[in-house]
Amino acid sequence: MRRSHRNALDRTLVVVCRCLGAAAVLVCLAALTPLPNYLVRSLQAEARLGPADAIVVLGSGIEPDGALSPGSLYRVTQGIKLYKARLAPLIVFSGPAFGGPAAEAEVAAQLARDLGVPSEQILTETGARTTREEAARIARRLEPRAVRRILLVTDSEHLTRAMALFERAGLEVLPAPADSVSPATEGPEARLELLRRLSQELMARLYYRLAGYL
């Protein structure tokens, strides 16, 4: 490469890096303000609880030793709470094994049984690996049971995308958020985590739109 081209490339790199560096500093400073909370709130679906035909708890991950991940535990607990409040007669747990000793849905179902939910009121979906697959497979499983309206349990920022997919699959959806990091959190580290989850969800929405899933 000629020297003049090399110098021009270097100057451009310096300008781009300075701008991105300044942006990174601003993101870190934003963690000391309520900005991440506002951003998450603007993207999340508000809870709308009411009677439904089934409660659907989406998967969030399982540890290699077969324990539910913290996010999964929040969702499962919310699902059981809604069942105990008699908002629906059926509860569906989703989540595969991802190569581990047990499927997330089976571990969640066992926890529900231990907490008093009858086995015949529990359905497990262990084959779906993405939100899109969860919507398609669960809707197919619920069709013979004449389930029309569901309470959908997942993280609040994930709910909007998940609701759209379940509605596309023909179900009426009531959002029931379960957050492992509260959107009202005030700690800088938790706010950075909110920003990370926000970017992750925005990228997922972009991907789903580009792929034509939404």
Partner 1 sequence: MEQLLFFVCLAVTSLAGYWLGRRALGFGHVSLAAVLGSALECLGASVIFLVANVLLGTLTALAVRTLTSHFVGLYVFSDAILLPLSLVQGLAFWSWRERARVH
Q: Which residue has the tokens 């969030």?
A: 60
The reply to whether 9 sits near partner 1 by the rule CB under 8 A is no
Each residue 66-95 as x (binds partner 1 by CB under 8 A) or -, in order, gives ------------------------------
Q: Which span (81-89, 113-121, 150-158, 201-209) binds partner 1, by CB under 8 A?
A: 201-209
Interface size with partner 1, residues (CB under 8 A): 24
DSSP secondary structure string, 24-65? HHHHHHHTTSSHHHHHHHHHSPPP-----SEEEE----B-TT
Kindly give, in sequence order, each residue whose CB lies less than 8 Å from that of residue 213, ignoring residues fewer than 6 positions away: 132, 165
The distance of closest approach from Cβ of residue 119 to partner 1 in the complex, given in angstroms and rounded to an integer, is 29
Considering the rule CB under 8 A, would residue 63 count as an interface residue with partner 1? no
Residue from the set 11, 18, 48, 84 that interacts with partner 1 by CB under 8 A? 18
Cross-strand bridge partners of residue 55: 91, 151
| 184 contacts partner 1 (rule: CB under 8 A) | no
Q: Which is nearer to partner 1, 146 or 211 (CB)?
A: 211
199 is an interface residue for partner 1 by CB under 8 A: yes
Residue 68: DSSP 8-state = B
Closer by beta carbon to partner 1, 89 or else 188: 188
Our CA angle for 48, 117, 94, nearest 5°, is: 65
Phi and psi at residue 175, in whole multiples of 5°? -75, 135
| Residues of span 117-176 touching partner 1 by CB under 8 A | 129
Among 47, 102, 136, 204, binds partner 1 (CB under 8 A): 204
Give the Cα separation of 188 and 172 in Å (integer).
37
Q: Does 202 bind partner 1 (CB under 8 A)?
A: no
Q: Rounded to whole angstroms, how far apart are CA atoms 28 and 19?
A: 14
Interface positions with partner 1 (CB under 8 A):
10, 13-14, 16-25, 32, 61, 98, 129, 188, 196, 199-200, 203-204, 207
